[in-house]
Structure 1
Amino acid sequence: MTRKFYITTPIYYVNGAPHIGHAYTSVAADVLARFKRLDGFDVHFLTGTDEHGQKVEATARANNIAPQEFTDRIAGEFRAMAQAMNISNDDFIRTTEPRHIRSCQAIWQAIERAGAIELGHYEGWYAVRDEAFYDESELVTGADGIKRSPFGAPVEWVREPSYFFKLSMFQDRLLKLYEDNPEFIQPASSRNEVLSFVRSGLRDISISRTSFKWGIPVPGAPDHVMYVWIDALTNYLTACGYPDMDAPLMKYWPADLHLVGKEITRFHAVYWPAMLMAAGLPVPRRIFANGWWTIEGEKMSKSLNNALAVEPLIAEFGLDQLRFCLLREMPFGNDGNFSRRSVITRINVELANDLGNLAQRTLSFIAKNAGGVVPEAGPAAEADHALRAIADGLPDRMRDAMDRLAYQEAIEEVWKLVRAANAYIDHQAPWALRKTDPQRMLTVLRTLCEALRVVGILLQPFMPEAMAKLLDQLALPADRRGFASLATPLDAGAVLPPPSGLFPRIVEPAS
């Protein structure tokens, strides 16, 4: 039976245009989805936009347009960002779609039937920007005397009728979930924060509002709209066909992995599993929180006008080069800094010099000195066995790293083979063997081709277009580019097309 894998990005909030931070998480999800597909998994990959709430309503009003018109425009920009970054999502969900409204109202009714919703009044501190309620103990008072949320958003005191979700009922079940599944929340820093929050005691949470209208109506109570996080979180179920439990896509539930920003970990790791428990549904298997990006050392923000759009970066660096650098630069889950200098260095050193030059040297030499075909290998020497051993062990090392979302480590494993292949070609010197031992030269070239084949196959999730070009230049058929074909060597004698460079160096103008 084919193994299933359901992965989601955060559902992106449409109060502003997409930027490099959104692209980062989408690329991370895309790389893992592509990796799993190549490894034989039946993958479902979801992304989309979260379009309700007071903040969206206020932003639309500030722009003098209707909320639906505003969300249509911004959702279109997120779709365009996904396309520009070559994101291979199977579905793009919008929370304003009829299928989602139906799903939200169904899960509300399921939770209500379980006795986990009651009507009351909410009174407390609310941050419109975060779309979240906070206890007094969580607030930070600045030098200006203004109270703010832990994430810097101003808060206001609100009192209004509200339905409450009895979150406190699920404290023990949540703690048991975390205890029984140590990898449910990652990385460890996020797990520790959630554990501390839950152990400190859970309070029932307000899950409806009456002070604005841009939201999904509460069933049987049209004056109330659902709290935006009840609405937003349910998207992951909507995309599977809920509440139709026999829908074909329900086979993917529970989700294997929710990728989220660390500022929304609590909603995904506490509220979401509690909601699902109340509704009698399985909880997701893992939630992984990624870090925040700074830009040239400064926090990315609208006020600083430094939130980088992806299209200019693609134009400057190249699509696959950008995808590579986003995941190469820092361990996934940590905060990171986007620096042009660092990106240019990565491209020139690792892509152009290490991998690009290795492919160009090998394939150009074959074109000029080996008839432009995949060489036939002769008897293997110790150096050949050593290089092949690195390549043979690489898929399992990659799988281990990818399952831990250690993207940087996975790339480094590939680069061990790239660096070893560069050392091999230097030491074996096929240009010298051409005169002294032509058969040995062919064996060396064939060994290099096989190393490039393995590199090209395994790096497809990170750089799909560039690796397709490399595998084309190795004359590898399209049906032999999955991981199941890693042990199948190239066909000796296959005609190779004229080689062309993979990664142009970036030369900055003299200052």
Structure 2
Amino acid sequence: MSGSKKTFYVTTPIYYVNDKPHIGHAYTTLACDVLARFKRLDGYDVKFLTGTDEHGQKVEKSAEAAGISPQALADMNSANFRELAARLNCSNDDFIRTTEPRHVASVQALWTKLVQSGDIYLGHYEGWYSVRDEAFYGEDELVAGPNGGKLAPTGAPVEWVKEPSYFFRLSAWQDKLLQWYEDNPDCVAPQSRRNEVMSFVKGGLQDLSVSRTSFKWGIPVPGDADHVMYVWLDALTNYITAVGYPNQDGAYARYWPADLHMVGKDIVRFHAVYWPAFLMAAGIKPAHRVFAHGWWTNEGQKISKSVGNVIDPLGLIEKYGLDQVRYFLLREVPFGNDGDYSHRAMVMRMNSELANDYGNLAQRVLSMIGKNCGNAVPAHGAFNDDDREMLDAAHGLLHKLRDAMDRQLFHEGLEALWVVIRAANGYVDRQAPWALKKTDPARMGTVLWVLAETIRNLALLTQAFMPDSSAKLLDQLAVAADQRDLSQCGSHHALKPGTPLPVPQGVFPRFVEEQGAD
């Protein structure tokens, strides 16, 4: 643990235990995992946090309906999210639960700080509340429902609530928030979400109700046990709990402010308006960046429990393979946009890009080396222009990947890799090493060395996306376990001629439809 290492702290939203894990949860967690892995490989001291949000009226009501305690429901469902992260092969360093003692202490300390700063006061709340969204809505935000009723803008039912409540002086933070967005142009991304957040804040901010008295399943307000804290104040605080708040040395000093909160677009307001306001009011710096990604549809249809088309990520892994699912989710759509899952698109990516492009490149090159070069890295002679162009493309990839990752443009990073994979397949066809075997064996060795070195660089850079498959490729190139971080990319650590290689094996099988399948 070196103090001189650059740090990187990335978080998923904490997932609500009233839900079953679905493709949206997998998508966010996977995106954070790819970033965390990439940054670790690139020499950063990384903290990657995920976890579960376990309080609120919705959990209390669901537990009551199930005839169990809210804590028992939270324990059961939190375990499902922990399992999802493990099954996705995620490398999170911590899994936080809002029912943990460390979190209760952290939230109560933040609350006390906000009271001391004069940003929390006691009043009473009267207005529209959605249990499903755990959110309050103004009259002007509601939409018409059936039979002349009213619904939240999300379509969730709302009820009129009147009760004593503590309020956070959000209205006092309007100008300071706008100034913060101006001073930090990259703090909310993509641009469409930044515009949405700024427009919301410019429209005027109302003070925010931050406690409830009508239910008990929550963290008690310090000094007033009749009130429990509003679930969003409780949930958002997890990001500082996990680095030891209220203790402000150690992990807190090392990792805070977080580098990135990754969220779905439906919760950008909570993360990019309420959360920075809470933090600034407590004298704490906000996170550097909030990135809000889009939603998935299923075969063109909006996903909903009632339609019964919820996509189970564990089912996808079972059917297609783990690294194939990891690849598809970050390749299929520009990150930040909405995307559509379809079986056809999944099979297309697996067969044309993973099996044909990447897998076939590695398999045929390594097989030729095995057959013609005595199962060892071939020697190479002088390089011609075509060789140099191929090597420059492979050795120049790290810079492109770093840029894409820092902007959370995973699809751009993968496309940069595939440009080189396609170029390498073109180079094989042009150079035709199988023909050179008879006419110029030394030249064949050079061509195969260039290709093996290209695959080494590709495999180093696909590790973050497809860890298991990339490890198999690096094994087949006899790259030592301690020579797989990104400092090994480029010409300085190129393959050494004569290194013995194992017998090659396919890494990306084609997906074949079962007989009688659609």
Indicate the TM-score class for this superposition, using the shorter chain for normalisation. over 0.9
Query: What amino acid is aligned across from residue 244 of structure 1 in structure 2?
Result: N
Show the counterpart of 1:34. Answer: 37
Q: Deviations over 1:67-116 (max 9, x none)?
A: 00000000000000000000100000000000000000000000110000
Show the counterpart of 2:495. Answer: 490
Show the counterpart of 2:247. Answer: 244
Match of 2:296 among 284, 293, 302: 293
Match of 1:214 among 214, 217, 232: 217
Residues 142 and 148 in structure 1, CA contact (< 8 A), matched pair in contact too: yes
Find the aligned partners of 1:155 and 1:289 in 2 and give their Cα distance.
Answer: 25
Q: CA deviation at 1:473?
A: 0.3
Q: Deviations over 1:462-487 (max 9, x none)?
A: 00000000000000011111111113
Show the counterpart of 1:151. Answer: 154
Show the counterpart of 1:272. Answer: 275
Find the aligned partners of 1:188 and 1:257 in 2 and give their Cα distance.
Answer: 16
Larger CA deviation: 475-484 vs 320-329: 475-484
Query: What amino acid is aligned across from residue 305 of structure 1 in structure 2?
Result: G
Show the counterpart of 1:478. Answer: 481
Matched, 1:70 2:73: yes
Find the aligned partners of 1:422 and 1:72 in 2 and give their Cα distance.
Answer: 50
Matched, 1:137 2:150: no
Query: What amino acid is aligned across from residue 91 of structure 1 in structure 2?
Result: D
Find the aligned partners of 2:23 and 2:40 in 1 and give their Cα distance.
Answer: 25
Find the aligned partners of 1:247 and 1:44 in 2 and give their Cα distance.
Answer: 13
Show the counterpart of 1:127. Answer: 130
Matched, 1:502 2:514: no
Identity %: 61
TM score, norm. by length of structure 1? 0.99
Find the aligned partners of 2:43 and 2:147 in 1 and give their Cα distance.
Answer: 57
Residues 124 and 133 in structure 1, CA contact (< 8 A), matched pair in contact too: yes
Q: Which runs of 5+ in 2 are unaligned?
A: none
TM score, norm. by length of structure 2? 0.98
Find the aligned partners of 2:80 and 2:289 in 1 and give their Cα distance.
Answer: 29
Query: What amino acid is aligned across from residue 100 of structure 2 in structure 1?
Result: E
Matched, 1:431 2:434: yes
**What are the residue-to-residue correspondences of 1:351-390 with 2, within 5 Å?**
351-390=354-393
Q: Deviations over 1:477-503 (max 9, x none)?
A: 111111111131112211111111111
Q: Which secondary structure state, in structure 2, belongs to the residue aligned with residue 80 of structure 1?
A: helix
Residues 241 and 250 in structure 1, CA contact (< 8 A), matched pair in contact too: no
Show the counterpart of 2:189. Answer: 186
Query: What amino acid is aligned across from residue 130 of structure 1 in structure 2?
Result: D
Q: CA deviation at 1:392?
A: 2.1
Show the counterpart of 1:414. Answer: 417
Find the aligned partners of 2:461 and 2:200 in 1 and give their Cα distance.
Answer: 40
Find the aligned partners of 1:71 and 1:35 in 2 and give their Cα distance.
Answer: 32
Find the aligned partners of 1:405 and 1:301 in 2 and give their Cα distance.
Answer: 27
Show the counterpart of 1:61. Answer: 64
Residues 240 and 252 in structure 2, CA contact (< 8 A), matched pair in contact too: no
Q: CA deviation at 1:307?
A: 1.4
Q: CA deviation at 1:310?
A: 1.8
Find the aligned partners of 1:465 and 1:102 in 2 and give their Cα distance.
Answer: 39
Find the aligned partners of 1:171 and 1:22 in 2 and give their Cα distance.
Answer: 31
Q: Deviations over 1:433-485 (max 9, x none)?
A: 00000000000000000100010000100000000000000000111111111
- Aligned-residue Cα RMSD (Å) equals 0.9
How many residues are treated as equivalent by the alignment?
Answer: 511
Residues 93 and 235 in structure 1, CA contact (< 8 A), matched pair in contact too: yes
Show the counterpart of 2:400. Answer: 397
Q: Deviations over 1:244-290 (max 9, x none)?
A: 11233441000000001111100000110000011111110000001
Find the aligned partners of 2:107 and 2:429 in 1 and give their Cα distance.
Answer: 62
Q: CA deviation at 1:143?
A: 4.3
Matched, 1:202 2:198: no
